[in-house]
Every structure is written in structure tokens, then in C-alpha cells.
Amino acid sequence: MKWLVILDPIEGLVSKTDTSLAIINKARSMGLEVDTATIEDLFFETVVSVNACGVKNEKTISMLDEYDLILMRKEPPYDLPFHYAAQLLSLTKTPVINSPASLRDFNEKLIVLPFSDFMPPTLVSSNSAEIIKFIGRFDSAVLKSLDSFQGKSVTRVSPDDMGLVDKFTEGGRQPIMVQQFLEAVYQGDKRVMMAGDRVLGAAQRRPKSGYHANFANSDALPAALTAREQEIIDTLGPWMVAHGIYFSGLDIIGEKLTEINITCPTGIIQISELDGKDIPGEVVDYFLELIADGTLAQ
């Protein structure tokens, strides 16, 4: 069994917390051959191929069709190089997790919009006047760039913050997401890790200061799912499986769905430590199960 994991340069990853490295190391410990590559290593000449790195860091050119599974784990932002890499990945017969078509079709902010019943009040627009009017309905709101990640472009605003709105929308040229600010974020943003429609585990990320809740700047606390959160998962799970999304991370604040992370969701190491589980092993077993029963299809 031979896998390929496409990710950011390994030398820049932190082995103590990185989800991709945890999956790679677990798969190798279970006897799987796992190569790694960056998106720059992908190329096409007659067939789509990769200049991949093996366990001993040796470089070898292989056709993507030679692998049994490809994991696309390049971190955001979703830019043109990412887009082109997803197009190349669509040319192989080997199953890719997550589906390259879904990676192209579903922006990680906009992917939640079909499930607005579970979301806080939300506006997506580039029109400054509409955005200011929306913010005015609440005490405050948050602005989110559609290509941001890890909360790097999430800013709390009030109705008189016209300057920030102009900055985020680049003078009305760039659409952004605006959501009602949820005070519950001070108690934590719940990250729920999913394998297809299965819950792997959850952690409450309580900010150490401010309102940016992520694993880098928050305390990770044990978390159970409420009945409302289970309803969200029961609705989303089958939809994601139907779209070839077999590994994801949901963000929930105060029982409100805010994001679905599908490019490079993280958290399995932290949740494993909190719950006393081997979630990397569960992920590898799940992928092997999908391959064995023929569920995966490119």
C-alpha cells in the first residue's frame, strides 16, 4: 500500500502539533509506504506525475496513478498555485482526499452558506453600504476575508468602522463575509474533527486573550457535543461524504456553525491528548476502510 501526502515543506512543520505529520507517522508505523511532496513537485508530461520524497528523503519521480491514495494537505490560502495543483490532481485515477473538485468548488468560508439555518446571521457582499447596514443590526460583527485562515483576517467591528470595511473590501471590489459577533466565543470555539460523517472528537478552544480562538492562541479543553451540535453533524456528514470530503474540521461557536475546514483541518493531536485516544490511527484505519470497500472514487 503506497500513499502520497501533498503538504507544505516538512521542515516548516511542528511535529508536536501537526496533523499531517501525525497521519504520516502513524501510517508508516502501520507498514504503509508514504511519500511526501509539495504542490511544486507536481507536473504533467504525458501523465500527471510527482517528484516525491520517500521516508529517507530520497527523491523519486512517480506517476500519481501508482499510488493507492493521495492526501491533499496543503495549507491555505487557496490561491492560483493551489487551484492549478487541484486541477492536476483531477487527472489521476488514484482517489484524492479531499476531492480536488470539492476543494475547487467550496471556499472554506462560503461552504457553510447552504446550511444557514445553523449559522449566525451572515452577509457576503462587497458593497460597503450594505455591509454597514448589516453591522448596524447588531452591537458588533466580525469581518472575514474569504481567503483567510486560522483567524488571521477576522476582525471585530462596530457600525462606525467604515475604514475597516473599505480596507477589507478593497474599496468595494472584494467580497467578504460579515457575521454577527458571538459573545460565546470568549468561552471557546468548538473544533469538531470529522472522518466523513463520523465524529473523531472535539475540543473547546478558549482564547487566552481576545476573541481569536484557534489552537495556537487558545487553551484546548475537553468538549462534548450538544443535541443541537449533533443535529448539525447529522445534516452535514452525509452531504460532505457525497461530495468526496472525507476529512474535515467544523467550527462551532455557541451552537452556531461558523466554518467548515476542508483543505488542511487540524486538531487530531490535541483532541487525542484530551480524550486519551489514538485519532491518527483512527484516521488511517478509516482511509484504509474506504479503499478496501471501494467507497473512494476520483
Q: What is the domain partition of the chain in residue ranges?
A: 2-104, 121-181, 184-282
Spell out the per-residue pLDDT of the chain, length 298, in tens.
999 999 999 999 988 899 999 999 999 999 999 999 999 999 999 999 999 999 888 999 999 999 999 999 999 888 999 999 999 999 999 999 999 999 999 998 999 999 999 999 999 999 999 999 999 999 899 999 987 654 447 899 988 888 999 999 999 999 999 999 999 999 899 999 999 999 999 999 998 877 877 777 778 899 999 999 999 999 999 999 999 999 999 999 999 999 999 999 999 999 999 999 999 999 999 999 999 998 876 5
CA dist 68 and 93 (Å) reads 9
CATH number of 121-181: 3.30.1490.20
User: What is residue 159's predicted lDDT score, i.e. its pLDDT?
Assistant: 86
Angle between helices 268-275 and 19-29 (to 10 degrees): 70
User: What is residue 149's predicted lDDT score, i.e. its pLDDT?
Assistant: 55
User: What is residue 219's predicted lDDT score, i.e. its pLDDT?
Assistant: 84
Check if the beta carbon of residue 206 is closer than 8 Å to that of residue 219. yes
Run of H or E residues at 84: helix 80-89
User: What is residue 280's predicted lDDT score, i.e. its pLDDT?
Assistant: 98
CA dist 84 and 8 (Å) reads 16
Any idea which fold 184-282 has? Answer: D-amino Acid Aminotransferase; Chain A, domain 1 (3.30.470)
CATH of 2-104, picked from 2.30.140.10, 3.40.630.30, 2.40.160.20, 3.40.50.20, is 3.40.50.20
User: What is residue 22's predicted lDDT score, i.e. its pLDDT?
Assistant: 97
Q: Of 148, 157, 162, 150, give the one whose Cα is nearest residue 178.
A: 157
**Rounded to an integer, what is the distance from CA 116 to the centroid of its chain?**
19
- Rounded to two decimals, what is the model's pTM? 0.93
Which residues are CB-contacts of 256 (< 8 A; sequence separation ≥ 6)?
Answer: 118, 119, 120, 182, 184
Q: Of 278, 223, 218, give the one whose Cα is nearest residue 252.
A: 223
User: What is residue 298's predicted lDDT score, i.e. its pLDDT?
Assistant: 52
